[in-house]
Amino acid sequence: MRTRSAFDWVSLAASHAVLLVCTAVFVLPIAFMVVASFKPDDLVLREAGSWRALFPTEMSFQNYFNVFDRVNFGRFFVNSVLITGSIVVGGLLVNSMAAYAFSRMRWRGRDFCFGLVLALLILPFEAIAVPLFYQMIEFGWRNSYRVQIVPFIANAFSIYLFYSFFLQIPKEMEEAAAMDGAGAWRTFFTLIIPLAKPAFATVAILTFLMHWGNYLWPLMVVDHETYRPLPVAIAEFQTLPPIQWGDIMAFGVMMILPVLAVFLIFQKGFVRGVASSGIKS
Amino acid sequence: MKRISRSGSFDGLFFAAPAILGLFLFVAVPFGIAIVLSFTNLRMGSPLETRFVGWEQYLRVLGDEAFRRALFNNAVFALVVVPVQTALALGLALLLNRQLRGRVIFRTLFFMPVVFPMALVAVVWKLLLAPGSEGLVNGLLESLTLGAWTPRDFLRDPWLALPSIMVMSIWQGVGFQMVIMLAGRQGVPEQLYEAASVEGAGPWRQFLHVTLPQMKNTIFFVVVVTTILAFRLFDQVDILTKGGPRLATTTVMYETVRTTFAEARVARAAAMTVIFFLIVVVLAFLQRKLLREEREVS
């Protein structure tokens, strides 16, 4: 018994040691970015190779002011929020309605259409990026918000997640609503949506994670600053002369801080959402 | 009764119409266009008349040195990143599943990079990996090895550029897989572990005979998702190396985008798109087959 508990103690200590090392690896780059964003630019490079890189040896907000002087950060930020927000809101509505039609309603062509959705599940966006790009030129949609929003609203994976959730809702509740004379619309908006809140939260978070960092698509379809989102903006900013690493890191901090705040507040939701993306496979 | 089902039929189509229209217009149609274009010789701004050329684009793409290197790089990336990232995710998940103090904090910290856009990750790591005394990674390796490490220029070294991109990709992505693994682990009934320990199985044998078989589906899911992700590799390459040095980090997506923009070769890019899609289909098909065989065995 004694050896057993000694073993447990050792394994517990080892676990903690491993976790602490991992924490260092995960946190160091982020800490480095934050610290560098407050340092004068020449100091960033001078101290970048030593432990001093992780300590705020000198502090000022100058880099942050520089970012606003040099580029239209506010615009990029609003663009990203607007684009991602529209995809999330539009996607929640459109995909949940489709999933409801697939899981609960009878109509001609339903099984065929659902088969189509399932077939599209594995198709990654990259497989259609180039032809979609030419299609968007034909539509005359280059350099706009809609080119970054509309193609991404309907999403096979979101439909699938909603579909599996709706299947779990007991049919009796809808039958009761139908007895009260509620049509499909009223049933969906007053009964199903409130019941499916966790599914909506999950899809919202996954959609956000999927599109907030979009880089390839805006790089292809937007060459105008007016519609540029943050990921493309920081990639441009890091090559904008004179290259000031302090400014670049300040740009990065401002770009991620609001998202980190949202993540920390809703982290249970994030974790649950991501977890459920794997369970149903 | 008849009237109800009829109105149901109308509503159903109406509910599903926006999504179906969207998927058709923005996924199915462009993909169909890609297939058709890949058999032509269309090139933006070319005076030649567009005509069907059969399999010529495919033969050219597959004969192209850069594209072959891209396929190779993606395969190497997948062969390294998939096992490493899956094992790390599983290991972290199992650690966090224990009754340790502060596990929620650890989970939060490990997951944090997932909310970072890859473009930002690439920019931060560009400075971390800076050559000589200007890079933290070089500096840390130097002090950890007590000066034995000679500083490298990671992103311009043909042997280190792709591994550097692998490391930052794992750093950003492993938290996502970890959370999925954690959920999978929590789905394993505790009685199985109790039974195993009654029979005298130690932690290692419990891992081999309970954890692994029980989490098989979750692990497979993570493996497939990570493999497909490995073939989508683009952002880091575009921001950090532009495919270089000497094609050492080019990828299928990078070559496809380069063909589209730098060369305006529409038909060739379409053929690349179709090849990319076929790779994904084969991967998904392999996964299904493996899963099914596993099910038949058990």
DSSP letters for A165-222: HHHTS-HHHHHHHHHTT--HHHIIIIIIHHHTHHHHHHHHHHHHHHHHT--HHHHHH-
Q: What is the dihedral of CA A108, A112, A114, A116, to 10 degrees?
A: -140
A54 and A84 in a single domain? The answer is: no
Whole-number Å distance between alpha carbons of B11 and A184: 7
Residue B4 has a pLDDT of: 45
A34 and A92 in a single domain? The answer is: no
A29 and A78 in a single domain? The answer is: no
The encoded tokens of residue A81 equal 């929020």
Query: Smallest Cβ distance to B19: which of A51, A95, A214?
Result: A95
Q: pLDDT digit string (tens) for A140-159?
A: 999 999 999 999 999 999 99
Query: Smallest Cβ distance to B127: which of A48, A150, A274?
Result: A48
Inter-chain contact B136–A270, Cβ cutoff 8 Å?
no
DSSP A128: T
Q: Which residues of B touch A230 (CB under 8 A)?
A: 117, 119
A150 and A30 in a single domain? The answer is: no
Give B61-297's CATH code, choosing from 3.30.70.3270, 2.40.110.10, 3.40.50.1370, 1.10.3720.10. Answer: 1.10.3720.10
ipTM associated with this complex: 0.89
Q: pLDDT digit string (tens) for B152-169?
A: 888 888 899 999 999 999
Q: How far, in Å, are A47, A239, A244, A247, B109 from residue A252 at the CA level? A: 19, 14, 13, 9, 18
Q: How far, in Å, are A223, B63, B162, B169, B215 from residue B80 at the CA level? A: 35, 25, 11, 11, 21
DSSP letters for B119-138: HHHHHHHHHHT-SGGG-HHH
CATH assignment at residue A208 = 1.10.3720.10
Q: How far, in Å, are A19, A90, A233 from residue A240 at the CA level? A: 39, 35, 10
A85 and A133 in a single domain? The answer is: yes
Chain A: nearest CA to B7, how far in angstroms?
9
Residue B289 buriedness (CB in 10 A; 0-12 / 13-18 / 19+): exposed
Query: Smallest Cβ distance to A29: which of B22, B27, B125?
Result: B125
Whole-number Å distance between alpha carbons of A226 and A147: 13
Q: Could you tell me the residue range of the domain that residue A44 belongs to?
A: 2-60
Residue B5 has a pLDDT of: 44
Residue A279 has a pLDDT of: 57
pLDDT of residue A181 exceeding 80, the answer is: no
Looking at A41, A60, A79, which one is the last position of a domain? A60
Q: pLDDT digit string (tens) for A72-121?
A: 999 999 999 999 999 999 999 999 999 999 988 888 888 888 988 888 88
B259 contacts B60 by C-beta, under 8 angstroms: no
Q: pLDDT digit string (tens) for B116-135?
A: 999 999 999 998 988 877 78
Domain ranges of chain B: 61-297
Tally of structural domains, chain A: 2
- Using the Cβ of B61 and the Cβ atoms of chain A, whether some distance falls under 8 Å is answered with no
A75 and A103 in a single domain? The answer is: yes
Residue type present at position A41: D
> For chain B, first and last CA: distance in Å?
46
A115 and A169 in a single domain? The answer is: yes
E strand or H helix at A61 = none
A52 and A71 in a single domain? The answer is: no
The encoded tokens of residue B186 equal 């929590």
Cis peptide preceding A242, ω within 30 of 0: yes
A128 and A255 in a single domain? The answer is: yes
Looking at A14, A31, A60, which one is the last position of a domain? A60
Low-confidence residues of chain B: pLDDT under 70: 1-9, 291-298
Q: Which residues pair with A50 in a beta bridge?
A: none
